[in-house]
Structure 1
């Protein structure tokens, strides 16, 4: 992938996208509204598919039933990666997805999802809620007639499933690898042939040999999709996506038309779900990892140091380019993101980083 072409193609045109004026009128009966949520996931997929259902239930409950949300999984009403446009244009009122899918509209979207050597899930939430991130989030999505909220995070995403063991950064060159977001641009700079596809397609491509490796979410969701059946080497640390935000995008016209209490119901449903989703992922990731190793012979492997450093250097190069991006909003988003990363890293490296080092030392403690 040519770097300049990637940045050029993902730049946002000055005109933006006009606000949709043809929002499908929701069903209204005795003060009640029915909204359709389109998602990027198969129905009930462990992780994001389940989280989408929970979000719909919470909005309905917190609104006292005045705003009833019906879930439409990927492919039922629109394709999984078509949910943003469907909500922007008013075909549906809201979606559940991830920002990593919208990079072709503006590379700025990708900074709100996951970033190589970027923010952990807690840091990402901190940036949005306390570091000025939400205002920038609103400004970028508002160009497309969408109101965004974070509503979960899948936690640290492993570097990926590999058919063959990786010995050095040279082994990555020419490798066909599934990923999304900023990670795709970073890994392409290391010579990997990156491809974007859904989880089911990734399994089929690994099985057929048209992919050499790939990453999707983490042990919980990945085990449900069966990647361990076709690739036994599972690599860490999670430097490509140290977290991956899940988001709810709402048609801005529909959101603005709500009374204030229903706007708060939607907002609080998203905020309340974030902790639930993150802790559910981490709990089930831990259980699934034990199962993958003990029952399916998965080999947990650490990336060689030269790979880690190469990914870090390519990530830093990309961030420097985004600071000079032609879209001034992308520049402001990047500066805000980097400032918060520097701030929180100055604390977290001592607080949690050193604690995990201490917890891994050899001392007597019951299992």
Structure 2
């Protein structure tokens, strides 16, 4: 703090015999972890090893790309440090292989990304491709569509995918219709011209021209026949930050039949106080001096979440909206929460999450305690604060 959180100031952390779980230090710029030889005990073959609780702590640090230093204790002079090094290498070899989702997102650890703005900008093909790799997300959407199709009383259904992109939800909608054994007419609406070309190719090659393609903005197109089921994947890392409420309000008003259902039906935003010297330093250096005035999408890693996330607000699309197009007052939200923080910590901002009810009991979540298994479409949000809070026992705001 005296150095103004200078990014070039790094730490060497020396562990002691009481070191078991030190999450607050993983939020600091630790480059070296020093292990004194007195932390080790001898096994039956008289080789140095660590206790199980120390093993777990060292493995956690191995996931943070630090270097290790073996420091010889005063009463251990003359010992062969090579055995200690060999043991650490053995310990590294026992680390579990990351899941496919973790491996795919590892390169984005603590990388600040500006949130997407799909309403204003046409997404690139590479962005769509990244989304399409997240099979668990689309498995849940397919299950939600299947349940909605099965529950619908009509003999023939119209299902509209709004913001269809390159068509992953369209494929899942057709599959859900086949599984349900129902007659479903699928309509895909997309305003991005390059994505529409991909949809046309897929309609010819993969879907047998079963899909009606519409190039339009979902907020302004008026169909001859309204949808029984409306499906969207506009959700952002904070739930509403990619203008999902505003877009779906208009889509539900113009496109959805009075008896129809929207997938997702609702979603909620959550925040938690966060400590991370690295993220704050990167935000401060981002964007030509205004980096602390904007949120980021981040695969948060070198950080300590200081309290359980708390719900801020929710949006619901369970029924067709009768709000006037362009009137956004009903989407204004404010929230207040108090967080108790157990240990003295630096607070560098807030981590943001969301969960969503797609349909019935089919849900998606990026909250740490309820995270949908292996889903990696959304990283959390990071909201930096300009003035770092120190030695806080509670934060309110």
TM range (shorter): under 0.3
Larger RCO, structure (CA 8 Å, separation 6 or more): 1
Larger radius of gyration: 2
- Give the TM-score normalised by the residue count of structure 2: 0.26
Indicate the structure with greater helix content: 1
